[in-house]
Structure 1
């Protein structure tokens, strides 16, 4: 399988192993992938670094478990098939609860550095995004110091939690794996919650459309999450809502390079480059969390 920065082949008995070849600009952070596997053992494959091949432009080689399942976007589970939709949502909630339950807070210097980085990033958004996003963006910027304090757990946050990276069982809808952790980083809980919206609706040529029963699925997510997350209270909801909105702005407001580094702020173009921001970040009030 050819990726943007990698090439992957299946091998071994029943193709139980994957061997991935990556260029030097997209090497895997083995610390992060090991942490992801430790926190989410049922969803994240184990990974082993095997070394490099070549001298002038070395290729980095990794061995991974071949997780079962089909990419969610390819499984094409109908929105009205609530049995399978519920299974996906409940497993996704358990995945987030596992993150909540495994606080990996960095040292004070690291959190201070992260706060300064995100304040600078969100200043760029404020300077360059259209004014329709200003109300929510201003609210997020005011909350950043609290988000990067001790108010929420710090967790390994997936950098691209889309439906291509979510593997499911076609028959049941259960999640069998979450892949592509190359852009993951330690952030306050909630920054990756943008991924939930991808299970509640879809983007088409006319913009974002929520499924008819998305509120039911959203409520099921939070009901399941609360049942699994330790010491999660109503008082946490305000900050989680702020972190979720921050995640929307961060994920959909920037163009990133192959290493996950910010290149530029997205601009308002006829191709709909700000369509996701319009769907989630231009609303008058932040969407409620059940």
Structure 2
């Protein structure tokens, strides 16, 4: 089994071009790191993100350059470290480039961050390295889903009330606006699920608010190549406090994967979903005693799927819904997540289309 990360396929040069940075920007970034960490070997990370340029520095550190509009809230990451411990890389702001006080062009400025380098292999690479080991792979998938549930249970233990979260983040401060925008503009086949959420939005916002990762993708999840256990979560730039359950949109990423350009659920996806909700209930006793609150959590998960896949990214603007023919990748995910998931072979229905009172009973059903 390989433990070497693959190249992400994201061109480093495209980051600098996309951000309209000067032609010598990458050279200056490299020089900054060399001067700041003399004697340590530096090299571009094999998995480059859309919003940053990342360098490995020695064996234990990472330096990342991000435009102002994609900057990291260091205070939020500090809270994440306090809640989730070693799953989160500590982040420190090293400075801003260029640091010339006479340069007032924020479009050319890059925030520079120092991060602890976490161990493990990205879930993307891990899946590639275990494709032919069927029974082992199923055990690894169960482990990842169980770890994701425990991650949310840990967040639950550090929850706040809605009023205690101030100021709220980009998503948390605009939940109703985003839901109403989706209700008026999403393709018609998704409308029934969206309109179902409008009357229960007060129940969702009334849930405990917990710290959500904000970009839960296989490339941001690190796992141990030996055990499959989650060893870290990368890229906390989109993290913010949200109603408990909204961040569970990421469960869908663990129930299947992209094959030949299309998201496909695993054959045991329903078993994995039951495992997740059983774990949530076993560690959050309050939810077991309050069926209405558990229903709100399930509705919040549906809301999270819509927030992350029905709103177009558009370089971070997040101000329009996805459209057929324009945002086909996200549309295909919505079709898979919301319409085509087969809860059980004989039902042939989406688990998100089930009535709320039935949703709360799903975790108690065994396989």
> Is 1:66 aligned to residue 122 of structure 2?
no
State the alpha-carbon separation in 1 of the partners of residues 195 and 258 from structure 2: 26
Alignment match, 1:104: 160
> Is 1:4 aligned to residue 61 of structure 2?
no
Q: Is the 8 A contact 2:83 2:154 kept in 1?
A: yes
Q: Is the 8 A contact 1:98 1:229 kept in 2?
A: no
What SS does the aligned partner of 2:241 have? strand
> Is 1:242 aligned to residue 299 of structure 2?
yes
Deviation track 1:112-150 (CA, whole Å, cap 9, x = no partner) reads x9777221111111111122111111111111122112x
**Shift of residue 35 of structure 1?**
1.1
Pick which of 208-217 and 38-47 moved more.
208-217
Alignment match, 2:138: 82
Alignment match, 2:251: 196
**Quick one: which of 23, 26, 49 aligns to 2:67?**
23
State the alpha-carbon separation in 2 of the partners of residues 70 and 210 from structure 1: 22
**Shift of residue 172 of structure 1?**
1.1
What SS does the aligned partner of 2:218 have? coil
TM-score by length of 2: 0.71
Higher relative contact order (CA 8 A, sep 6+): 1
**Shift of residue 194 of structure 1?**
1.4
State the alpha-carbon separation in 1 of the partners of residues 88 and 120 from structure 2: 12
Q: Which runs of 5+ in 2 are unaligned?
A: 1-44, 340-349
Number of residue-to-residue matches in the alignment? 284
**Shift of residue 220 of structure 1?**
2.1
Cα 1:116/1:168, change in 2 over 3 Å: closer
Cα 1:27/1:110, change in 2 over 3 Å: closer
Which structure: greater helix fraction? Answer: 2
Q: Is the 8 A contact 2:213 2:239 kept in 1?
A: yes
Q: Is the 8 A contact 2:182 2:321 kept in 1?
A: yes
**Shift of residue 177 of structure 1?**
0.4
State the alpha-carbon separation in 1 of the partners of residues 63 and 154 from structure 2: 27
State the alpha-carbon separation in 2 of the partners of residues 89 and 114 from structure 1: 25
Pick which of 208-217 and 242-251 moved more.
208-217
Q: Is the 8 A contact 1:100 1:230 kept in 2?
A: no
TM-score by length of 1: 0.88
State the alpha-carbon separation in 2 of the partners of residues 138 and 248 from structure 1: 14
Which structure: greater strand fraction? Answer: 1
Return the index of the structure with the highest Cα Rg: 2
State the alpha-carbon separation in 2 of the partners of residues 206 and 119 from structure 1: 32
Q: Is the 8 A contact 1:103 1:155 kept in 2?
A: yes
State the alpha-carbon separation in 1 of the partners of residues 122 and 49 from structure 2: 14
Pick which of 192-201 and 279-288 moved more.
279-288
- Aligned ranges for residues 111-260 of structure 1 at < 5 Å? 117-149=174-206, 152-205=207-260, 207-229=262-284, 231-233=286-288, 234-235=290-291, 236-258=293-315, 260=316
What SS does the aligned partner of 2:214 have? coil
Q: Which runs of 5+ in 1 are unaligned?
A: none
What SS does the aligned partner of 1:39 have? helix
Cα 1:203/1:11, change in 2 over 3 Å: closer
What SS does the aligned partner of 1:265 have? coil
Deviation track 1:154-183 (CA, whole Å, cap 9, x = no partner) reads 011122111111111122110010111111
State the alpha-carbon separation in 2 of the partners of residues 115 and 198 from structure 1: 22
